[in-house]
């Protein structure tokens, strides 16, 4: 069948997902028909890498990203007390630098906690309503090669397809309660020990969500604190324990090499875009972390599709409160 993406050079990187897109010229505005082809490739592959884009201006990335949906911004984090290193509020700073441009150290427990939280499986903004659709991450400055920092992706559609039918039936109507605080507490319990996750908002999304192309996605993240929709009533404590058990069981299935791809960052200005409604991802860290600059910049669009709001009645966004030390 003829496909619009026949016109792009798309090189698959894994049997079921991830591809490299070649020969897009980012030095000038990208025409709508090329954007449409990129969108189609993204729907199919879930993760696209563009090597050596040459983009050094954040506004170029923002303008590109805005063509895939309305962009999220840093407003909730700024309100919660976060200082900005980068001038544009649509640009999420996922570097290991503080607002003054110094390497993050153990003296900045909140940023360190965030970096540890990003090393757990997640879909961006699952803790918000609407959730995220497309994330675009650009390497502004990479650490020396061989010191880590790869991004690991998981094909959450293929993982869903291969679940036993009994498991599919068991999880079909369950709803995850996603909390950014829960992820941070899991990643850095020493920093967030005193925080009660139930004092903060939850975003409700089903564990199984149809993708816009019709396939089901296993939408499980390290933000899920408890689950609604069990057959029998459970106390909060029993619910949280059963949630850990179920999420672990699903990840034992999904987190297998046949569903994952370790994406290397090779050059400054490499750009990776992924569909948070089709794939999960996590940072892998490495020896560079508190030794070498890794300046990564992310834009993220909202999921304006019919499942973007999940089971939430109204839109809301979580900002991370300052951890008390």
Angle, CA 306 vertex, CA 180 and CA 127 arms, to 5°: 0
Q: Which CB, 221 or 243, lies closer to Fe ion?
A: 221
Does residue 37 contact residue 48 with C-beta atoms inside 8 Å? no
Does residue 48 contact residue 38 with C-beta atoms inside 8 Å? yes
Shortest reach from residue 114's CB to Fe ion, in Å: 10
Long-range CB contacts (< 8 A, 24+ apart) of 242-251?
246/171, 246/174, 247/220, 250/163, 250/167, 250/171, 250/207, 250/218, 250/220, 251/121, 251/220
Q: Which CB, 5 or 45, lies closer to Fe ion?
A: 45
Instruction: Decide: residue 322, CB within 10 A, 0-12 exposed, 13-18 middle, 19+ buried.
Output: exposed
Q: Which CB, 124 or 275, lies closer to Fe ion?
A: 124
Identify which range of 3-11, 117-125, 175-183, 258-266 contacts Fe ion by CB under 5 A.
117-125
Q: Which CB, 240 or 270, lies closer to Fe ion?
A: 270
> How many binding residues for Fe ion (CB under 5 A)?
1
**R_g of the chain computed on alpha carbons:** 19
Q: Which CB, 97 or 171, lies closer to Fe ion?
A: 97
Q: Which CB, 124 or 155, lies closer to Fe ion?
A: 124
Which residues, listed in sequence order, are joined to residue 217 by a DSSP beta bridge?
209
Shortest reach from residue 8's CB to Fe ion, in Å: 25
- With binding defined as CB under 5 A, does residue 93 bind Fe ion? no
Q: What are the φ/ψ torsions at residue 21 (nearest 5 degrees)?
A: -105, 130
CA 211 to chain centre: 16
Identify which range of 20-28, 56-64, 68-76, 122-130 contacts Fe ion by CB under 5 A.
122-130
Q: Which residue is nearest to Fe ion (CB)?
A: 124
Residue from 72, 90, 124, 155 in contact with Fe ion (CB under 5 A):
124
| Site of interaction with Fe ion (CB under 5 A) | 124
């Amino acid at each position: 069948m003829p496909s619009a993406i026949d016109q792009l050079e798309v090189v698959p990187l894994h049997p079921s997902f991830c591809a490299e897109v070649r020969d897009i010229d980012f030095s000038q505005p990208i025409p709508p028909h090329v954007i449409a082809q990129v969108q189609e490739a993204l729907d199919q592959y879930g993760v696209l890498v563009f090597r050596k884009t040459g983009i050094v201006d954040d506004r170029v990335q923002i303008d590109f990203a805005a063509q895939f949906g309305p962009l999220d911004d840093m407003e909730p984090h700024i309100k919660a007390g976060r200082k900005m290193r980068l001038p544009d509020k649509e640009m999420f700073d996922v570097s290991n630098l503080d607002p003054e441009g110094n390497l993050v150290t153990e003296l900045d427990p909140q940023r360190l906690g965030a970096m540890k939280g990003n090393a757990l499986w997640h879909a961006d903004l699952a803790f918000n309503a609407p959730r995220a659709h497309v994330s675009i991450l650009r390497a502004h400055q990479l650490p020396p090669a061989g010191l880590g920092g790869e991004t690991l992706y998981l094909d959450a559609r293929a993982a869903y397809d291969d679940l036993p039918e009994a498991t599919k039936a068991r999880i079909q109507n369950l709803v995850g309660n996603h909390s950014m605080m829960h992820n941070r507490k899991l990643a850095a319990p020493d920093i967030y020990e005193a925080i009660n996750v139930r004092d903060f908002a939850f975003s409700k999304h089903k564990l199984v969500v149809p993708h816009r192309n019709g396939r089901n996605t296993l939408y499980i993240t390290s933000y899920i604190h408890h689950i609604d929709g069990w057959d029998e009533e459970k106390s909060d404590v029993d619910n949280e324990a059963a949630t850990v058990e179920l999420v672990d069981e699903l990840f034992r299935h999904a987190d297998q090499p046949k569903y994952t791809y370790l994406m290397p960052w090779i050059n400054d200005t490499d750009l990776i875009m992924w569909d948070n409604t089709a794939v999960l991802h996590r940072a892998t860290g490495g020896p560079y972390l508190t030794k070498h600059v890794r300046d990564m910049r992310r834009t993220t669009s909202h999921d304006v599709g019919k499942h973007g709001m999940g089971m939430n009645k109204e839109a809301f966004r979580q900002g991370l409160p300052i951890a008390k030390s």
